[in-house]
Amino acid sequence: MVKQIYSKYPMVKYLRKEALPTALCPGCGGGTVLNAFANAIDQLKIDPRDLVVVSGIGCSAWIASPYFLADTLHTTHGRAIAFATGVKVGLPDKKVVVISGDGDLASIGGNHLIHAARRNIDITVILVNNFIYGMTGGQVAPTTPFGAKTTTTPYRNVEHPLNIAEMVAAGASYVARWTTAHVYQLIESIKKALTVKGFSLVEVISQCPVQYGRRNRMKEPAEMLRWFLKNAIPISKAKNMSPEELEGKFIIGEFVNRERPEFVDELNKLIDEVQESFGLKGE
């Protein structure tokens, strides 16, 4: 029965059928992100054999491994971007993609995220932001909204969340943010991120009804999606709004799309220069 259902899904050719159905909780946004990524790969006609997909630890790390049918690295907590950097330097012809969550990439691995963007290394990061540490019990995260309840902030969170897209925009070549309720826009941004030369980030605001939603009066996935749609503000409109008006809102759209020198290209230029200075060029 399961095989019959998946045989009708056009993107199944990009999935590891032996790993289906997924272990993701009912209503999790991870399936939407996986679908959007598969569609982007399909529309760009990228051969999965030319991909290396890297993930860390957490619910969103499972999107790439074990479900996407390509070479994948399931790495240690917070170190996905560090592994991806090594892959890109060693295999510059490969398209290197990181898919993981906010706890993994922006908390434990936040330092790697900042400096990969600063270096502008040619990797694509799809950061799934569900506001919480989902796999480990629903603890507060650096992305948890102000006033929200978690297992470690049972009364309310008194910290303001980290603005990931705005922070990374300081160095990256491409940055966008969408929610899982904006699927077509998400696919288009993933496609752009995969084709831009340099560091690219697509932040995906995603629902976690099990750990986040039920503690914040949104027990059903549809309630969280309606919350996203109600509070999503296009970046063009947000520019004319005050910080007070933007409190609790999700600014969506493209933040950065520009050309900057790319790290691996500059590193290889340096190697050529040094070899030439020592008379080693061509040896």
Containing domain of residue 130, as a range? 24-278
Q: Which pTM does this prediction carry?
A: 0.95
CATH of the domain at 96: 3.40.50.970
Residue 3: pLDDT band (50, 70, 90) is low
Angstrom distance (rounded) from CA 231 to CA 279? 61
Separation CA 264–CA 197 (nearest Å): 11
pLDDT at 150: 97
Interatomic CA distance for residues 138 and 144, integer angstroms = 10
Average pLDDT over residues 125-134: 96
Can you name the residues that pair with 55 across neighbouring β-strands? 74
Does the pLDDT at position 88 exceed 60? yes
Residue 16 lies in a domain: no
pLDDT of residue 85: 98
Question: In the chain, pLDDT over 70 holds for what percent of residues?
Answer: 97
Average pLDDT over the chain reads 94
CA dist., res. 124 & res. 41, Å (int)? 13
Q: What is the pLDDT of residues 190-220, one digit of tens each?
A: 999 999 999 999 999 999 999 999 999 998 9
Number of structural domains the chain divides into:
1
Residue 17 lies in a domain: no
Taking 80 as the threshold, does the pLDDT of residue 283 lie above it? no
pLDDT at 8: 81
pLDDT at residue 6 is higher than 70: no
Query: Tens digits of per-residue pLDDT, 218-229?
Result: 989 999 999 999
Residue 56 lies in a domain: yes
Residue 255 lies in a domain: yes
Does residue 163 surpass a pLDDT of 70? yes
Inside any domain, residue 13: no
1: pLDDT strictly greater than 80: no
pLDDT digits (tens, 9 = 90+) for 62-79: 999 999 999 999 999 999
Mutual orientation of helices 80-90 and 263-277 as an angle, nearest 10°?
50
**Residue 13 corresponds to which amino acid?**
K
Does 259 reside within a domain?
A: yes
**Mean pLDDT over residues 17-42, rounded?**
95
pLDDT score of 279: 86
User: Is 19 contained in some domain?
Assistant: no
Assess if residue 202 is contained within a domain: yes
DSSP state string for 63-130:
TTTTTBSSEEEE--TT-HHHHHHHHHHH-TTSEEEEEEEHIIIIIITHHHHHHHHHHT-S-EEEEEE-
2 pLDDT above the threshold of 60:
no
Confidence tier at 280 by pLDDT (50, 70, 90): confident
pLDDT 10s digits, 171-187: 999 999 999 999 999 99
